[in-house]
Amino acid sequence: MSNKTTTTHDAPSMRTTPPVSGRLVLQWVFFVGYLLVFLWSWNKLNMSVFSFFSDLGNVGNLFKRMYPPDFGDMGRIVEAMVETIWMALLGTVGAVILSYPLALAAAHNTTKSKALRALSRGVITLSRAVPEIILAAIFVAAFGPGPFSGILALALHSIGMIGRLFADAIETATEQPREAVISVGATKRQTTRSAILPQALPSMIATSLFRFEINLRGSAILGLVGAGGIGQIISESLETIQYRPALAAVLVLFVVILAIEIVSTSVRRSLIGEAANLQLSAQRYSFLKKMFQRRDARVNKAATAERRLSPPWTSERLFRTTMLASAIVLIVAAIVTVNVDWIRAITNFDQISIVLKQMLPPSFSGERSNVFTGLIESFAISVVATTLGVAIALPLGVAMARNINVRRWFSTFMRMFVLALRGIPELIIAVIFVSAMGLGAVPGTLALSVTVAVFAAKLFADTMEEVSPAPREAVVSVGATRPQEFISSVVPQFVSPFVAHFFYLLDVFFRSSTVLGIVGGGGIGFLLLQSIRVFEFQLTTMIVLGVYLIVLSIEWLGLGVRRLYR
């Protein structure tokens, strides 16, 4: 009898559901709290499920009016596109030059002073707080319209990403090479140059290439504030209801962004040890891959036999050298051909100090209520757009994940589809929605939702492909179906990174929502741009500080919530 009693008391301990704990309660509190914030944001923006589909119909009607594209002014489109590429390239090069000393000062293994590291990190973080289009508008006010303002804006804004990732790459360098060169009497500068930088260089180059892709999208819309590039053509065409020339410009932009993304992806693969020129064609042209492999084997064998100190000229080294030479040629061509009077631009640099003096101290300038209203609307836009975009991105991510989708051709097709959509800058999408649906926060929110979905789908797919296969094999071995295997083994591993990705998306796209007002998409963007145009720079500073504080709050909240799901 006593044994039965013991069994009865022990039965609850065999439960398969997790026990109620403080962590579980906090998780539910966060979930319910966010749901309430989403419903409040939805109501704040006057979103409607029924109008949602009718609004999409308006977008479809706009595309019908855009078709077929008008390439009649192709010469001007190509000229503006080349200017956009030069702006992105020179902005990225400028950011790399400025980020390198900041990264050295911010890394703990190259700088011992905590104060200097904190100052450098602060500069890097601050440059990320202001969107490049706002920086471009400020520089246009200081230097006048033209690509020089766009180049400066891209360079300063890019420090936020490049400087941080450069510093992270320097800090992750292993200590053994550093200790080895120190043991033979190397100075601090020699140690950095010979032991740390060679390890960080591949990551730094890959970061620069990735930032170039981002800057190409960013520079495409700087023309909306007078900073040159193809965005100016698109803006003028839509403002004058010339939809077909606008579509022609967007298509040219899309093709260029897609081509540059494919090339830079190849170079990044090469830098991490894969032969990019072979990887892209490995499945279709396996004979070419084998031919290069045989050649590389012969070259490596000859170099070993001759005991050469320099690395052999394998196909991989030839590919990298060709890319480096091409990059140098393009940079020189950009400096020479871009429409910038460099001597005049440098001599007029004191204009920046004049604008900076006008920005301090921060002031509401009688716009206190409009500032708060605009910031709240931008926050609501980011909440609704991020939630809707994530809801679309989750099934897209599952379809794109190669280890989950048994039809590999379908996952490849979905990846190419999402890659194609990523070729259109987010503000261009916003311009299209606003042109179709009219001014207001609703078209801005829908446009941002599309951007979130495209951006998040790849992020989710890559995360799902990185899950451990062991739990999946375990549940399959006991007869689980594919849906059961996905729910019980993939989803639990995906939850923690999903929460981290969600707050990252909310952070990034809140900053994006603050510039939607520039094209009539609601939020603080309109007031922000107007404050620059009428030279109310103290109000500009106050708005930027408000944006920075909200971004900082989202980041800290995200850190706290992520701890609940680890």
Question: Residue 179 falls within a domain, yes or no?
Answer: yes
The reply to whether 156 and 252 lie within a common domain is: yes
The per-residue DSSP string of 188-238 comes to HHHHIIIIIHHHHHHHHHHHHHHHHHHHHHHHTTGGGGTS-SHHHHHHHHH
pLDDT at 187: 67
Number of neighbours of residue 384 by Cβ within 10 angstroms: 26
Contact 141, 358 (CB under 8 A): no
Q: How long is the chain?
A: 566
Decide if pLDDT at 217 tops 80: no
Question: Residue 301 falls within a domain, yes or no?
Answer: no
The model's pLDDT over 476-517, given as tens digits with 9 standing for 90+, comes to 777 777 777 777 777 777 777 788 778 878 877 887 787 777
Q: Domain of residue 104: give its range.
A: 70-273+314-358
The model's pLDDT over 125-182, given as tens digits with 9 standing for 90+, comes to 778 777 777 788 778 877 877 788 888 888 888 887 788 778 877 877 777 776 676 7
Angle, alpha carbons 104-109-113 (nearest 5°): 75
Question: Residue 12 falls within a domain, yes or no?
Answer: no
Select the more confidently predicted residue: 426 or 292: 426
The reply to whether 395 and 351 lie within a common domain is: no
Angle, alpha carbons 397-158-465 (nearest 5°): 20
Select the more confidently predicted residue: 61 or 268: 61
The reply to whether 42 and 125 lie within a common domain is: no
The residue from 328, 358, 388 where one domain ends is 358
Give the total number of structural domains in the chain: 2
Q: How far apart are CA 328 and CA 91, in angstroms?
A: 15
The reply to whether 396 and 428 lie within a common domain is: yes
pLDDT band at 200 (very low <50, low <70, confident <90, very high): confident
The residue from 341, 358, 375 where one domain ends is 358
The reply to whether 340 and 220 lie within a common domain is: yes
The residue from 358, 393, 415 where one domain ends is 358
Question: Residue 145 falls within a domain, yes or no?
Answer: yes
Decide if pLDDT at 283 tops 50: no
Question: Residue 461 falls within a domain, yes or no?
Answer: yes
List of residues 6+ apart from 461 with CB closer than 8 A = 396, 397, 398, 400, 401, 415
The secondary structure of residue 339, as a DSSP letter, is S
The reply to whether 123 and 94 lie within a common domain is: yes
pLDDT band at 315 (very low <50, low <70, confident <90, very high): low
The reply to whether 493 and 526 lie within a common domain is: yes
The reply to whether 76 and 48 lie within a common domain is: no
> Considering the chain, what is the average pLDDT of its residues?
76
Question: Exposure of 269 by Cβ count < 10 A (0-12 exposed, 13-18 middle, 19+ buried)?
Answer: middle
Q: How far apart are CA 107 and CA 89, in angstroms?
A: 26
The reply to whether 333 and 353 lie within a common domain is: yes
pLDDT band at 336 (very low <50, low <70, confident <90, very high): confident
Neighbouring C-alpha atoms within 13 Å toward the C-beta of 499: 19
The reply to whether 54 and 96 lie within a common domain is: no
Question: Residue 280 falls within a domain, yes or no?
Answer: no
The reply to whether 411 and 558 lie within a common domain is: yes
Question: Residue 309 falls within a domain, yes or no?
Answer: no
Question: Residue 233 falls within a domain, yes or no?
Answer: yes
Q: The CATH number of the domain where 126 resides is what?
A: 1.10.3720.10
The model's pLDDT over 511-565, given as tens digits with 9 standing for 90+, comes to 778 777 777 777 887 888 788 777 788 888 888 888 878 877 877 777 677 676 6
The reply to whether 89 and 175 lie within a common domain is: yes
